[in-house]
Amino acid sequence: MRVSVIGGSSVSDATYEQAVSVGRLFAERGHTVVCGGLGGVMRGVCEGASEAGGRTVGILPGEDTTAANEFVEVPLATGLGHARNALVVMNGDAVVAIDGGPGTLTELGFASVYDRPVAGLGTHDVPGVRQVDSPAAAVAYVEDRV
C-alpha cells in the first residue's frame, strides 16, 4: 500500500518524533510513504521509513528535485506550488495527517474528494478525519480501511 502522510512543515520535536514513528511503522509493514518531500512532518516520516528500509516518495512543489529532504528516495518535481497537494493525496491509498496548517487542511479536503481514509494525529478536526492518539493507532486505522 502507498500511504500519503501530510502535516506541518515546521513542527515541535514531539510532533517530529511522531512522524518518524509513523514512517518507521509503515516501512516495517512494507508500505511506501508518499509526502510533500520537504521539512517538518514530511522529513520525519521519510526519516523513519528510510531508517526501517522503506520506500519514500516526495512530491515537491517546485521544479528542483534537490530541494527534497535527504530521506526522500524518489523526488518528483512538479512546479505546481501548493497545487501539488492534490497529487500528494491522490498518490496514496490512505492518508495520515500529523499536525498541520492551511496546506494540510487543503490536503484533507482532497482526501475527502478522492475518498481516502484519513487518520489524524493532532491535526484539524474536520469531517472524514478519524482522530487517533498514537502512531500505531494511525497505522492500524488506515490498514484496516484499505
pLDDT in tens, 22-77: 999 999 999 999 999 999 999 999 999 999 999 999 999 999 999 999 999 999 99
- The stretch 12-23 carries a mean pLDDT of 98
Residue 107, classified by CB atoms within 10 Å of its CB into exposed (0-12), middle (13-18) or buried (19+), is buried
Say which DSSP state 115 is in.
T
What span, in angstroms and rounded, lies between the C-alpha atoms of 62 and 51? 26
Q: Would you kindly state where each structural domain of the chain is located, as residue ranges?
A: 2-145
| Grid cell digits, residue 131 | 482522530
Summarize pLDDT for 83-133 with one digit per residue, the tens: 999 999 999 999 999 999 999 999 999 999 999 999 999 999 999 999 999
φ and ψ at 28, to 5 degrees?
Answer: -60, -25
- What CATH topology corresponds to 2-145? Rossmann fold (3.40.50)
CA 73 to chain centre: 14
Identify the pLDDT of residue 46. 98
| Largest interatomic CA distance in the chain | 36
Specify the pTM: 0.97
Identify the pLDDT of residue 26. 98
Q: Find out whether 96 and 130 touch, Cβ atoms under 8 Å.
A: no
